[in-house]
């Protein structure tokens, strides 16, 4: 017996004794070795015309009684030297990394999970492996055999055909592990389809089916159909990956079927994107934008990801690193040649190629959406209703870093247009000297549209974006600017649109009524920081009063923060009560102050504040006091 090299022994030890759960990948590893062996012969066949390529195949067989699983190929094969070199040491490409990690004393299970480790993974399910191989161009076959513990033997053997046969003698079942499952048609078929469906050589297996026996001609009404087991050799993998085919050669129906059968959706996708990148970065990708968001898309449990293949073999079912979060709803497949089959999660994340692919895909998805926005506005509007939240989230969770890539995909309701518009459309419709994008937030579009602060801005000829989503303001604030315009909440301080004469008039009114404003202020709750003459409510038909936010934090934001759990640190909110000095109520208030009618002043103050709060959709704190004040004045 020949002894395993130290690093092989260590690895085999881990294989046999680890509690690593993903044992089923052994089949993927063996099939991909078989496929590589056929690739090598294929290359040979380019110069050697005697090789018949159409016969290339891989076979998976099982024997329930003997408890064996056999993977056979008619590829390049191995002689005794190759068996020694390839199976006596860790030959797989991840081996150096493995050794480094093993030396660093990392968690052993983790190491196996990361590297999968090719051929040796057989020992996760088998306690004896026999490899019989006859190399291409030789009559002599060789047999390598090992229990995966100390060493292995290599002996001369007989084999009629060229290629390699790997027989796994399954381990005994334990309380925790059922190895029998690996010699069932059901499991093997499932694993071939899951991991090796697109291997480019046929993977054949004997499958048995129950078929109905022919019905006897004299069968009466009470005839019960009889069945017999029918065995047939079948190709299990579908071979040609749909994503490598040219878009022009695949029907919409085929694309849709692939989507539905692979991504757990019964609806057709909204968009299909097929990509074939060549040059420094080579990959094929097939992406789908779904019609409806997945149920859990806005929950914490949601996991984004694209299936990642390397040369038609699946490496990862959902690789999150291929998509930015804001396009997390996109489903699909990426296939790139140059990735190591057993690349680890951590290494993938840092992999330059994966990062470059992610950037490519992001650009491509963005341009697809921009095209939809330009050419099929209704479809985009509907799409945005369902998925747009994740773009806004992308902007504010990145503190505005993603503004450039996402701002043009956003839609907001325009008060002037009475439908959703893009920021670009808003700006195009604005006057050349407009310096800000105005917005307002509230419970419903109808309610916000009617607030005095919105009305006042609209009357001056400006459009206002109306929002009912508490996070929109976060999004505006994170963007900071769009097209050189800042974002302004209309219910907040100075908007920079008041005319000089209005400002001047308000300043004068503030000076003249200084005593009145402080008297009124004294009657109001602490949240009212200041009472002033409104620079925006200036007509006798305008509302009598409005409230604006005193500080940096708008009313909507303060409400949003207050509604969050653990809101102790939430910014405290203060209003400025603006009074329309041209309104009849103001004249009445002036009279009451002059007459030193304290009670009446109190009633006016209550009404003016509460009216403003109601108009903003905030609601009054004490409706009874509000009603009493009104009743007292109209009585
Ligand atoms: P990897 O496939 O990552 O190189 P493995 O440990 O799975 O690592 O296999 C080691 C080597 O053994 C392969 O590189 C290949 O040269 C050889 N080998 C394995 N299986 C076969 C096979 N079915 N036919 C021919 N050669 C094989």
- Cα(426) to centroid(ligand 1), Å: 62
| pTM for the model | 0.69
Atom 13 of ligand 1, residue of closest alpha carbon: 86
Measured from the CB, is residue 131 less than 6 Å from ligand 1? no
Strands (DSSP E) along 137-178, which ranges? 141-146, 151-157, 163-170
Asked if residue 336 lies in contact with residue 353, where contact means CB atoms within 8 angstroms, the answer is yes
pLDDT in tens, 40-57: 998 888 888 889 988 999
Measured from the CB, is residue 310 less than 6 Å from ligand 1? no
- Cα(474) to centroid(ligand 1), Å: 55
Nearby residues of 152 by Cβ (< 8 Å), 6 or more positions away: 1, 2, 4, 87, 88, 144, 145, 146
Strand partners, 288: 272, 331
Q: What distance in Å separates the CA atoms of residue 532 and residue 576, rounded to the nearest whole number? A: 7
Mean pLDDT along residues 237-262: 87
Q: Give the tokens for residue 541.
A: 């038909």
**Would you call 235 helix, strand, or coil by DSSP?**
strand
Q: Give the tokens for residue 258.
A: 């692939």
Q: What is the pLDDT of residue 469?
A: 84
Q: Is the pLDDT of residue 350 over 80?
A: no
For tokens 């909110």, name the residue: 573
pLDDT: which is higher, 579 or 15: 579
Nearby residues of 356 by Cβ (< 8 Å), 6 or more positions away: 281
- Testing ligand 1's pocket by substitution, the residue of 30, 33, 77 carrying the most ligand atoms inside 8 A of its CB is 33
**Would you call 563 helix, strand, or coil by DSSP?**
helix
- Cα(243) to centroid(ligand 1), Å: 27
Place 185 in a pLDDT band, splitting at 50, 70 and 90.
Answer: very high
Q: What distance in Å separates the CA atoms of residue 184 and residue 65, rounded to the nearest whole number? A: 11
Nearby residues of 448 by Cβ (< 8 Å), 6 or more positions away: 440, 441, 442, 454, 466, 467, 468, 617
For tokens 């690349």, name the residue: 343
Measured from the CB, is residue 93 less than 6 Å from ligand 1? yes
> Of 80-94, 185-199, 324-338, 407-421, which gets the smallest average pLDDT?
80-94
Q: Is the pLDDT of residue 106 over 60?
A: no
Q: What is the pLDDT of residue 116?
A: 46
Mean pLDDT along residues 157-161: 96
Place 403 in a pLDDT band, splitting at 50, 70 and 90.
Answer: very high
Candidates 477, 471, 411, 419; CA nearest to 445 is 419
Q: Give the tokens for residue 233.
A: 């050799």
Candidates 331, 325, 333, 361; CA nearest to 267 is 331
Q: What distance in Å separates the CA atoms of residue 90 and residue 94, rounded to the nearest whole number? A: 9
- Cα(55) to centroid(ligand 1), Å: 21
Place 109 in a pLDDT band, splitting at 50, 70 and 90.
Answer: very low
Candidates 237, 230, 337; CA nearest to 277 is 337
Q: Indicate which atom in ligand 1 lies nearest the CA of residue 73.
A: 23
Q: How many residues would you count in the chain? A: 635
- Cα(82) to centroid(ligand 1), Å: 9
Measured from the CB, is residue 86 less than 6 Å from ligand 1? yes
- Cα(86) to centroid(ligand 1), Å: 6
**Rg of the chain on CA atoms, in Å:** 37
Atom 21 of ligand 1, residue of closest alpha carbon: 33
Q: Is the pLDDT of residue 331 over 70?
A: yes
pLDDT in tens, 433-483: 899 999 998 888 998 898 888 988 998 899 999 998 878 988 998 999 999
Long-range contacts of 5-10 (CB under 8 A, 24+ apart): 5/88, 5/89, 5/90, 7/89, 7/90, 7/95, 7/98, 7/99, 7/102, 8/88, 8/89, 8/90, 8/120, 9/150, 10/102
- Testing ligand 1's pocket by substitution, the residue of 5, 15, 91, 143 carrying the most ligand atoms inside 8 A of its CB is 91
- Cα(387) to centroid(ligand 1), Å: 46
Q: What distance in Å separates the CA atoms of residue 32 and residue 37, rounded to the nearest whole number? A: 9
Q: Indicate which atom in ligand 1 lies nearest the CA of residue 163.
A: 24
pLDDT: which is higher, 347 or 516: 516
Mean pLDDT along residues 229-235: 94
Could you tell me the CA-to-CA distances from 90 to 53, 121, 550 in Å, in that order? 30, 11, 70
Q: What distance in Å separates the CA atoms of residue 442 and residue 413, rounded to the nearest whole number? A: 12
Measured from the CB, is residue 73 less than 6 Å from ligand 1? yes
Q: Is the pLDDT of residue 93 over 50?
A: no
Q: What is the pLDDT of residue 335?
A: 93
- Cα(236) to centroid(ligand 1), Å: 22
Place 77 in a pLDDT band, splitting at 50, 70 and 90.
Answer: very high
Nearby residues of 329 by Cβ (< 8 Å), 6 or more positions away: 289, 290, 293, 294, 297, 304, 387, 390
Check residue 411 and give left, alpha or beta (phi > 0: left; psi -120 to 50: alpha): beta
Q: Rounded to the nearest 5°, which phi and psi values hold at 498?
A: -70, 140
- Cα(470) to centroid(ligand 1), Å: 58
Q: What is the pLDDT of residue 20?
A: 56
Measured from the CB, is residue 129 less than 6 Å from ligand 1? no
Asked if residue 68 lies in contact with residue 180, where contact means CB atoms within 8 angstroms, the answer is no
The percentage of the chain sitting over the pLDDT mark of 90, rounded to a whole number, equals: 51
Atom 1 of ligand 1, residue of closest alpha carbon: 92
The DSSP element (H or E) to which 285 belongs, if any, is: strand 283-289
Q: Is the pLDDT of residue 92 over 70?
A: no
> Of 262-276, 301-315, 404-418, which gets the smallest average pLDDT?
301-315
- Testing ligand 1's pocket by substitution, the residue of 86, 143, 162 carrying the most ligand atoms inside 8 A of its CB is 86
């Amino acid at each position: 017996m020949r002894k395993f090299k130290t690093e092989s022994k260590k690895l085999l030890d881990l294989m046999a004794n680890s509690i690593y759960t993903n044992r089923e990948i052994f089949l993927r590893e063996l099939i991909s070795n078989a496929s590589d062996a056929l690739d090598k012969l294929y290359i040979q066949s380019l110069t050697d015309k005697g090789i018949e390529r159409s016969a290339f195949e891989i076979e998976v067989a099982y024997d329930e009684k003997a408890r064996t699983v056999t993977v056979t190929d008619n590829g390049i094969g191995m002689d005794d030297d190759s068996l020694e070199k390839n199976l006596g040491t860790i030959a797989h490409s991840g081996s150096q990394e493995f050794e480094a990690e093993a030396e660093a004393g990392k968690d052993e299970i983790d190491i196996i999970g990361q590297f999968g480790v090719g051929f040796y993974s057989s020992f996760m399910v088998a306690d004896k492996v026999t490899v019989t191989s006859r190399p291409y161009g030789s009559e002599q076959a060789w047999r390598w055999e090992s229990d995966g513990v100390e060493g292995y033997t290599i002996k001369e053997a007989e084999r009629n055909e060229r290629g390699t046969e790997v027989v796994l003698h399954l381990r005994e079942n334990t309380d925790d592990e059922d190895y029998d499952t690996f010699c069932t048609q059901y499991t093997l078929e499932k694993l071939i389809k899951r991991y090796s469906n697109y291997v480019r050589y046929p993977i054949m297996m004997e499958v048995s089916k129950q078929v109905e026996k022919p019905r006897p001609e004299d069968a009466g009404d009470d005839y019960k159909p009889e069945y017999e087991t029918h065995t047939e050799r079948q190709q299990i993998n579908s071979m040609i990956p749909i994503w490598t085919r040219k878009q022009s050669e695949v029907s919409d129906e085929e694309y849709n079927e692939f989507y539905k059968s692979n991504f757990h959706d019964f609806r057709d996708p909204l968009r299909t994107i097929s990509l074939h990148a060549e040059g420094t970065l080579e990959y094929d990708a097939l992406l789908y934008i779904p019609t409806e968001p997945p149920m859990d898309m806005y929950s914490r449990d949601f996991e984004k990801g694209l299936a990642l293949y390397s040369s038609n073999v699946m490496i990862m079912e959902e690789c999150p690193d291929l998509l930015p979060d804001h396009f997390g709803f996109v489903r699909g497949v990426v296939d790139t040649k140059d990735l190591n089959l057993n690349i680890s999660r951590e290494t993938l994340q840092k992999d330059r190629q994966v990062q470059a692919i992610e950037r490519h895909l992001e650009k491509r998805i963005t341009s697809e959406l921009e095209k939809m926005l330009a050419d099929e506005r209704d479809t985009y509007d509907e799409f945005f209703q369902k998925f747009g939240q994740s773009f806004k989230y992308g902007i504010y969770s990145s503190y505005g870093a993603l503004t450039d890539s996402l701002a043009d995909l956003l839609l907001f309701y325009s008060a002037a247009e009475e439908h959703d518009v893009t920021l670009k459309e808003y700006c195009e419709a604005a006057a050349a000297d407009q310096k800000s994008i105005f917005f307002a937030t509230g419970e419903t579009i109808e309610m916000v549209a009617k607030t005095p602060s919105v009305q006042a801005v609209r009357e001056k000829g400006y459009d206002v974006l109306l929002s009912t989503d508490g996070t929109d303001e976060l999004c505006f604030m994170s963007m900071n600017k769009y097209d050189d315009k800042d974002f302004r909440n209309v219910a907040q301080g100075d908007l920079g649109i008041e005319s000089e004469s209005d400002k001047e008039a308000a300043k004068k009114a503030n000076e003249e009524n200084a005593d009145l404003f402080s008297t009124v202020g004294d009657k109001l709750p602490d949240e009212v920081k200041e009472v002033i003459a409104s620079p925006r409510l200036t007509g006798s038909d305008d509302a009598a009063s409005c409230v604006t936010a005193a500080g940096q934090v708008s009313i909507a934001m303060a409400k949003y923060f207050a509604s969050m759990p653990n809101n102790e640190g939430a910014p405290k909110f203060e209003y400025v009560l603006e009074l329309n000095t041209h309104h009849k109520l103001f004249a009445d208030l002036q009279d009451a102050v002059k007459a030193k009618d304290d009670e009446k002043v109190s009633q006016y103050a209550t009404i003016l504040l509460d009216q403003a709060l109601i108009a903003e959709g905030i609601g009054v704190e004490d409706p009874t006091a509000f009603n009493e004040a009104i009743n007292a004045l109209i009585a």
